[in-house]
Amino acid sequence: MISADVRLVGGPTSNKGTVETREDGDEADLSECILKPTGCETAGAASCHGEGYLGCFAEKHPDPVLSGIHEPNNSNMTISYCIDICMSSSSANYTYAGVERGYECFCGEASDNYTLHGIVSDDYCDFKCSGDPTESCGGVGFIAIFTIHVETSETTPAVVSTAKVDEVTIQLSSEMTSHTRDAVTSSTMTTLLSTPTTLQQNCNFTDTA
């Protein structure tokens, strides 16, 4: 006679896991078994950590593997809560978020070596998160680290119309030519008007009467 058939439902894109158990069934006919879903007692497996999970790493203070801001004691701590803290920080552009002891959050930059003290089994990072007991938030001396995914929008470079630029160039050239011609005409007229006066001043007239 079969007593239980246990399986974990959920994948790496889920922060929570569900265990389905079948019991009280006949060994020859599993369709008679009763299906009962229950939550994960601990969320140590990667499938319960969610997307971006890098692993469980040893932590040694006062030499933390993530050097950024630290949220020391938060009763609302979850994996997503810690990631939001790191993403919303104005002090740096953080790449990593880590949870520890069930209620602590650490942020880290791309240059941080989170493997400094070694990687360990996920079993060491099975402390329940203070804000959601179905998630695990590291352990004592062990930190669960996640990559922060930041969505960026694509920028389309500006395109300048060649026809428009040519049109402006021609227009400017035309105006410059027009002003030049006006200047030449004005100068020529001034010279012609002043010539008779100049000649009159320089000529000596003889009265033959």
Q: Where are the domains of the chain?
A: 43-147
Q: State the Cα–Cα distance between residues 73 and 97, nearest whole angstrom.
A: 15
- The CA distance from 180 to 14, in Å, is 76
- Judged on CB neighbours under 10 Å (0-12, 13-18, 19+), 49 is buried
The tens digit of pLDDT for each residue in 148-162 reads 976 554 544 554 444
Which pLDDT tens digit goes with each residue over 49-97? 677 999 999 998 888 999 999 999 999 999 999 999 999 998 889 999 9
Integer Cα distance of 53 and 46 in angstroms: 7
Q: Contact at 8 Å (CB) between 69 and 91?
A: yes
Looking up tokens 């002043």 gives: 194
Question: Residue 54's pLDDT is what?
Answer: 96
- Contact between residue 79 and residue 102 where contact means Cβ atoms under 8 Å apart: no
Q: What pLDDT score was predicted for residue 150? A: 62
